[in-house]
Amino acid sequence: MLEVDHLVRRFGEITAVDAISFAVGDGQMTGFVGGNGAGKTTTMRMIMGVLSIHGGGVQWRGRPITAADRRGFGYMPEERGLYPKQPIMDQLIYLGRLQGLSASGARQRAKTLLERFNLGDRHKDKLESLSLGNQQRVQIAAAVISDPQMLVLDEPFSGLDPAAVDEMADVLREFTDRGVPVLFSSHQLDLVDRLCDQLVVLSAGRVVARGTAAELRRRGPVRHRLITAG
Ligand code: ATP
């Protein structure tokens, strides 16, 4: 289980994340929603150790999270982080090696993932030569290259066509089915509603609602709150 406990991050005068708390249980799919600037990316960056934390903390399996824990996480950052001009297979192998796989293990895992995404025959292609949907598939392959213990994905569904959305959702469900906690941000409310066990709604750096989609609906006009969040 991942626990985020009163996390705070400031940028100059702005408090971008203002004492945010929530937990993602084992096997739980959690959707992080909120308008532009609500603090989703900043929170995910602190969870992943990309940004320093100004207050509060992150616990993984009951203890303060460490760099080693984070290396076992699959992370899809907002800025994505793969190279447009490099062949996709090489990049996946490189990432797998960085995360401790053997050369042959990384190659095998990259091959399996690309085949899973129907990209096996494109393995030598540069990332930039693929469609947006296929680029996103490669990004998710990169996030899951080394059998992650937790997934933290910043807008993994953005720019995908409906078929690719379903495919991506299936991939995420395979992880939650195996007990892996998954946290992803999205602007697509219907999708979050459909896929997630839990929603965490942010507005102006604070959690304004938290619970299952059904709970939030019972509590009030969640759709309105979601849309106006942030
Ligand atoms: P979006 O959906 O648009 O990505 P978000 O919910 O992910 O939004 P953040 O990107 O976390 O929101 O931004 C939260 C606030 O922090 C915003 O006011 C943003 O301008 C500010 N912010 C984020 N990163 C920085 C930075 N590096 N320097 C200054 N301000 C920042």
Which residues line the pocket of ligand 1, CB cutoff 6 A?
11, 14, 16, 34, 36-42
Q: What is the pTM of this model?
A: 0.90
| Residue among 20, 40, 46, 51 whose CB has most ligand 1 atoms within 8 A, to mutate | 40
Who wins on pLDDT, 98 or 178?
178
- What does the pLDDT read at residue 128? 93
pLDDT by residue (tens digit) across 35-79? Answer: 889 999 999 999 999 999 999 999 999 999 999 999 999 999 987
Q: Which of 47-51, 164-168, 194-198 has the lowest mean pLDDT?
A: 164-168
Closest listed residue to residue 98, CA positions, set 68, 61, 71, 125: 71
Q: Which of 59-73, 153-167, 171-185 has the lowest mean pLDDT?
A: 153-167
Averaged pLDDT for residues 93-115: 93
Residue with CA closest to ligand 1 atom 1: 36
Average pLDDT, the chain: 91
Handedness of CA 188, 17, 22, 222 (dihedral sign): negative
- Highest mean pLDDT among 42-56, 97-111, 184-198 belongs to 42-56
Q: Going by CA atoms, what residue is nearest to atom 20 of ligand 1?
A: 37
Dihedral, CA of residue 51, residue 53, residue 47 and residue 38, to nearest 10: -80
d(CA 80, CA 158): 12
Indicate the helix (H) or strand (E) that contains 29.
strand 29-33
- Residue 40's nearest CA partner among 78, 90, 89, 96 is 78
Residue-level pLDDT at 220 = 65
pLDDT at 179: 97
Q: Whose CA is nearest to atom 30 of ligand 1?
A: 11
**Average pLDDT in the 11-19 region?**
96
Residue nearest to atom 3 of ligand 1 (CA): 36
- Report ipTM for this prediction: 0.95
Which ligand 1 atom is at minimum distance from the Cα of 187? 2
